[in-house]
Structure 1
């Protein structure tokens, strides 16, 4: 006998039935798995404790699939927390509606401009902020940005939507609002504020800029939870636990962390009920996460994919991948991270390797490795420049770039395998053009740094970084990822962050 579709009536009488939000106080841009397993879960915990009108209007970017499925399930879905010891299912129930930006961009702007909305949260990935990796400023070469700048309504970029909605608010009811970026950008609140301001400057909206100074806040935040892609397996687990058919269950690891500046000018939910932390300075947490977790995660994904491994646990289970991961994390990333007060960094690092080894989770290398052109611009430059300016070659950071290039723009005649081939990246075509015109591997790497819009041109001032990256590309192509990883890790461990040599326990 088939189970009824997941709905509030199907869960009637169940301890898993969440309270219905009393209103919509939050608009969230980016209705992907991460949001539904992170911010929505924290908001549901706050609503369960205090009630209130902090429901979330979720905005999908392009696809109607999740939006339609949510509507068909009374805006409910299961979050399946997975570990080797078993799984548990919860139902957040924090959403009050959904929109699809590509189909109705004007509705998105209007929703953010609604005076009842007091917070906008954002998870659109690094690529979604339309900034130039070279300068960090609004990318005026983007056709989408130019279109938004020269039309008066219905912007389609995230920055354009925010700027358009703030313009309406400033020129009508003038109610304050907070814009909270939850993406892996260092200083994500400050970065979002700068991009929105630049957009407003280009549209001549000085009055909106003046109003925003006192009526809009952009707190920095750090978010952390591994959330793999959905699958029928997780839908089945959620369905079995709920007793109702769930077609959009979200898998997630048990670990979750959210650190924010408490700068919400129009109020906020008590996210502390879900375990959120509020700190005066979030940037140390951001640096720790973006470099130690995300940066190392990227290297694991690229090496694993090139080695034919479909998942992160299978990749980190390869001894050469673990050695390279520890080398880049401890020797090259860690010296550039200001460890937050109260954080036991050795425990944090040990926990990272436990999380990456969660075989029950099955996080795919293709998912983690996708969009590297946007991700690596946040992860490699500052640590690489830190070491290069001290006369120390960051071999494993060069390995990260080399492995990325072999995955998304493999040299002629080299097959990176199906998992690398499945990685999506907006820079693929651009990189292919650079490769086609390059006279050598080193020339290609230099072109990537100077013209690829991935890394800052400043790195090109250090020929040793260019040369080392090209050498490691060549090693991957000729001898495979294991040989390149062992070579880079040994070089890093023998040199050390300060040039004196080091070993890992």
Structure 2
């Protein structure tokens, strides 16, 4: 049996492998993180790992709200795992040790609530994806008809959802006279701190108006902007990294050299010195959030849907097609940038140039199918906010509309060669039913999908500029296919 990465095996790693610069036995946990996916392990956990040698009170207890897979992979490894940073120049490996423990919430509800209620925990952070907040993406309000919300309101001490766990832990701390922890979302939500505060406050008020008022007035919710591309780990990645380590790592994470974290400095119970690891603390995150959501995430989703339909497996494959490069450059320059209002010193041109190079990175096998997941939750933040700003100025939305139309074509569940698409989305069945009812007619499909208020709200379906632009783009995708449609749009805008 091959040797497994764990605490006892760190000294046996090759000398070129960077390992934690601290004694894990002297680290105590000050953070609970909900949603221990690859992104957290390639981003916030790395920043924390960097500062632990000087600030050992900030270790992480991570929790999965659904699957035991990460716990099962990391528990035999004492929580250690490998970070692989890949670029054109090669691969750099580093072992991360900031996650001391992983809890699987459905198996250990009381255990997780007990840890979150511990006075030593001063921050609860989240990467549960947009759908994990049980909110309406079009309005940012709590979805009071969400099955998990209905369950948790009736079983508040046995919660399923992230809002349910956080509010119950805050209730217990309040009852025990323990100061509340800071709640820090690291997900792609608009004004994520304010959005999560609104969702949690409403949920708490439905349970107990006094508890809701306490959370509204006493809990801090700093907004954040996180930026790093983290593709899914493959068996090939595991094998390659295992050879380099000389031992097995069941779940390494793969990422790019670029990383960014912008945080509002509002932590009433203290925080790690993440600025020592490169994080930037600001008074207002919103300009940076819009920059990232609209330039990176909006471009990423547009590339994912169009690239998948065009037959490209990865973003880098898509960006090897010069027409797609020109599409994304035009989207960023002509339609997104005019909606951004950055503080002095922010260099948008440099950021956009860096984005194009990041998207082209052939060492990152970031699958278009992976990025295309959960589009019903992502579209309002990544594309539709920009659309609304452009429409308010009577400005063109041709490229944005094509991205929305590509999503519509994708969620029908069949690609341009009539092969099935594995659509992963909370609304997948609803989307498929609407697509089936449209019977392949792009105008009917668009009209049916416009009717999903949770995505498009009430305003966009009533705006003929929006509906005409998207319907026209969708008809072209059906008639000409993604590659030819992109080519024609590029030619027309030259």
Q: How would you bin the TM-score normalised by the shorter chain?
A: over 0.9
Task: Give TM-score, length-normalised by structure 1.
Answer: 0.92
User: Which range is displaced more, 143-152 or 210-219?
Assistant: 210-219
SS of the aligned residue for 2:106 comes to: coil
SS of the aligned residue for 1:57 comes to: strand
- Report the equivalent of 1:264: 267
**Cα RMSD, aligned residues only:** 2.0
- Equivalent residue in structure 1 for 2:72, among 68, 75, 93: 68
Q: Whole-Å Cα distance in 2 between the matches of residues 242 and 249 of structure 1?
A: 11
- Equivalent residue in structure 1 for 2:27, among 18, 22, 26: 22
Verify the 8 A CA contact 1:28 1:57 in the aligned structure 2: yes
Q: CA offsets, 1:346-375, max 9 Å, x none?
A: 111000000000001111111111111111
Q: Whole-Å Cα distance in 1 between the matches of residues 77 and 332 of structure 2?
A: 42
User: Which range is displaced more, 72-81 or 321-330?
Assistant: 321-330
User: Which range is displaced more, 361-370 or 338-347?
Assistant: 338-347
1:455 pairs with 2:448: no
SS of the aligned residue for 2:449 comes to: helix
Q: By how many angstroms is 1:325 displaced?
A: 1.2
- Report the equivalent of 1:307: 310
Q: Whole-Å Cα distance in 1 between the matches of residues 172 and 323 of structure 2?
A: 55
Task: Give TM-score, length-normalised by structure 2.
Answer: 0.94
Verify the 8 A CA contact 2:78 2:100 in the aligned structure 1: no
Q: By how many angstroms is 1:258 displaced?
A: 0.4
Q: By how many angstroms is 1:441 displaced?
A: 2.9
Equivalences, count: 487
- Report the equivalent of 1:469: 470
Q: By how many angstroms is 1:279 displaced?
A: 0.6
Q: By how many angstroms is 1:274 displaced?
A: 1.3
SS of the aligned residue for 1:208 comes to: helix
- Call closer, same or farther: CA 1:232–1:322 in 2, change over 3 Å: same
Q: Whole-Å Cα distance in 2 between the matches of residues 334 and 427 of structure 1?
A: 31
- Call closer, same or farther: CA 1:66–1:327 in 2, change over 3 Å: same
- Equivalent residue in structure 2 for 1:78, among 78, 82, 91: 82
- Report the equivalent of 1:198: 202
- Call closer, same or farther: CA 1:127–1:216 in 2, change over 3 Å: same
- Equivalent residue in structure 2 for 1:116, among 120, 127, 149: 120
- Call closer, same or farther: CA 1:188–1:260 in 2, change over 3 Å: same
Q: CA offsets, 1:364-387, max 9 Å, x none?
A: 111111111111111222211222
User: Which range is displaced more, 97-106 or 138-147?
Assistant: 97-106
- Call closer, same or farther: CA 1:236–1:254 in 2, change over 3 Å: same
1:404 pairs with 2:407: yes
Q: Whole-Å Cα distance in 1 between the matches of residues 93 and 236 of structure 2?
A: 13
Runs of 4+ in 1 over 6 A off after TM superposition: none
User: Which range is displaced more, 57-66 or 39-48?
Assistant: 57-66
1:12 pairs with 2:15: no
User: Which range is displaced more, 269-278 or 477-486?
Assistant: 477-486
Q: Whole-Å Cα distance in 1 between the matches of residues 323 and 416 of structure 2?
A: 21
- Report the equivalent of 2:326: 323
- Call closer, same or farther: CA 1:383–1:286 in 2, change over 3 Å: same
Q: CA offsets, 1:315-351, max 9 Å, x none?
A: 0111221122122211111111112332211111000
Q: CA offsets, 1:234-287, max 9 Å, x none?
A: 223432333322121110001100000111111111111211110111110100
Q: Whole-Å Cα distance in 2 between the matches of residues 91 and 212 of structure 1?
A: 37
SS of the aligned residue for 1:131 comes to: coil
1:290 pairs with 2:287: no
Verify the 8 A CA contact 1:11 1:242 in the aligned structure 2: no
- Equivalent residue in structure 1 for 2:257, among 254, 257, 261: 254
Q: Whole-Å Cα distance in 2 between the matches of residues 377 and 455 of structure 1?
A: 7
Q: Whole-Å Cα distance in 2 between the matches of residues 165 and 176 of structure 1?
A: 9
Verify the 8 A CA contact 1:228 1:251 in the aligned structure 2: yes
- Report the equivalent of 2:336: 333
- Call closer, same or farther: CA 1:348–1:414 in 2, change over 3 Å: closer
